[in-house]
């Protein structure tokens, strides 16, 4: 059931924004998987003030989702009810400062790393190996290649679900593995990352190493969503998946990557149900073979559009995964 059916007239009651609003907006073109349904209403706020106006005036029962680069996200085929917020141009500014970098939540991780390198700043090279945007990186404490957001974040600015703009120091976010304790419904809008002067040649070498390693080990040119499952304590998810015989496993138009089996790939025709259903099949086989229950790292949102038996378990688990609002 869509939000308009639950709360008649909510669309007409929205405030006038400087940003863009689009009804029944197809989301598949935004996602790295290139699959999924439509947003009942897609809003691209002009800036943090515009976003605050929207959230302050939006009736509380209307559901809100936030998307960013959509690099680690499955949007289910039935789409998203209520308001989907996509942070774009007004949230992508990057500024080099004496003690680090200020970046908007829509700035891509790799772009932030490149700006830092060009300015001779070190400490954030690891971001060049993480697909996605800064807002999503904060929301899930993204990390790779020896670094994570918790190790470099000074503060994050947010807009709460009630439209209040706040700046939170890093210690208030209680970072953990792939988790940040953001207030419920909060949207990350801007951050400050620590970085220090470094040798340009060493920074360039490190970023080249990260790029080479990533391209050699991951299907970076495929329609994928990054690492599918979190690494269990002391174990590697890909090793468990391989041990369960899932490398190359297919369902519909989705397949487990032969190159790195913690990646799912849309071979061109996959629906979101194919992709999520394949992930659930991998989880089932790994549990049966190893006794380990894999936890999703990819965020899964929205309404199943068909073949619901494939996503029944995932839907039951969706509530804990819905907390981050930084935009994936």
Q: Known catalytic residues?
A: 178, 227, 297
The Cα 135–Cα 142 span in angstroms is 10
Strands in the chain per DSSP E: 20-26, 38-44, 64-67, 73-75, 80-86, 94-97, 100-104, 121-122, 143-144, 147-148, 153-159, 165-169, 187-194, 196-197, 223-224, 250-251, 254-256, 264-266, 299-301
- What is the β-pairing status of strands 80-86 and 38-44? parallel
To the nearest 10 degrees (0 to 180), the angle between helices 272-290 and 312-321 is 90
- How many of the other CB atoms lie within 10 Å of CB of 202? 11
Residue 157, φ and ψ in degrees, nearest 5: -90, 140
Residue 53 has, within 13 A of its CA and on its CB side, a CA count of 15
CA dist list (Å): 23 to 18, 80, 135, 146, 323 = 16, 11, 24, 42, 24
Quote the Cα angle for 144-145-148, to 5°. Answer: 45
The Cα 204–Cα 298 span in angstroms is 30
Kindly tell me the sign of the dihedral angle through the C-alpha atoms of 126, 93, 71, 192: positive
For 250, the token pair is 């297919």
For 219, the token pair is 């299907």
């Amino acid at each position: 059931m869509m939000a308009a059916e639950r709360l008649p007239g909510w669309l007409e009651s929205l405030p006038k924004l400087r940003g863009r609003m689009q009804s029944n907006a197809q989301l598949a073109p935004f996602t790295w998987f290139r699959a999924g349904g439509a947003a009942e209403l897609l809003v691209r706020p002009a800036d943090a003030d515009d976003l605050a106006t929207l959230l302050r005036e939006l009736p509380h029962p209307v559901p809100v989702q936030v998307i960013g680069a959509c690099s680690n996200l499955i949007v289910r085929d039935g789409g998203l009810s209520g308001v989907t917020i996509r942070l774009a141009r007004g949230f992508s500014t990057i500024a080099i400062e004496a003690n680090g970098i200020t970046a908007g939540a829509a700035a891509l991780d790799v772009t932030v790393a490149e700006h830092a390198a060009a300015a001779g700043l070190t400490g954030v090279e690891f971001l060049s190996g993480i697909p996605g945007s800064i807002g999503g990186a904060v929301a899930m404490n993204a990390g790779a290649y020896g670094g994570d957001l918790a190790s470099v974040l000074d503060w994050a600015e947010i807009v709460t679900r009630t439209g209040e703009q706040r700046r939170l120091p890093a210690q208030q976010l209680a970072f953990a593995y792939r988790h940040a304790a953001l207030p419920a419904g909060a949207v990350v809008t801007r951050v400050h990352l620590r970085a220090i002067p470094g040798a340009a040649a060493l920074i360039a070498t490190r970023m080249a190493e990260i790029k080479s390693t990533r391209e050699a080990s991951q299907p970076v040119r495929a329609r994928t969503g990054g690492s599918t499952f979190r690494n269990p304590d002391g174990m590697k998810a890909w090793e468990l998946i391989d041990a369960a015989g899932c490398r190359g496993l297919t369902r519909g138009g989705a397949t487990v990557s032969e190159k790195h089996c913690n990646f799912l790939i849309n071979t061109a025709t996959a629906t979101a149900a194919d992709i999520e259903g394949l992930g659930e099949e991998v989880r089932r086989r790994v549990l049966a073979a190893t006794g380990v229950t894999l936890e999703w790292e990819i965020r899964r949102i929205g309404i199943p559009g068909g073949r619901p038996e494939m996503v029944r378990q995932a839907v039951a688990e969706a509530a804990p995964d819905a907390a981050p609002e930084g935009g994936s």
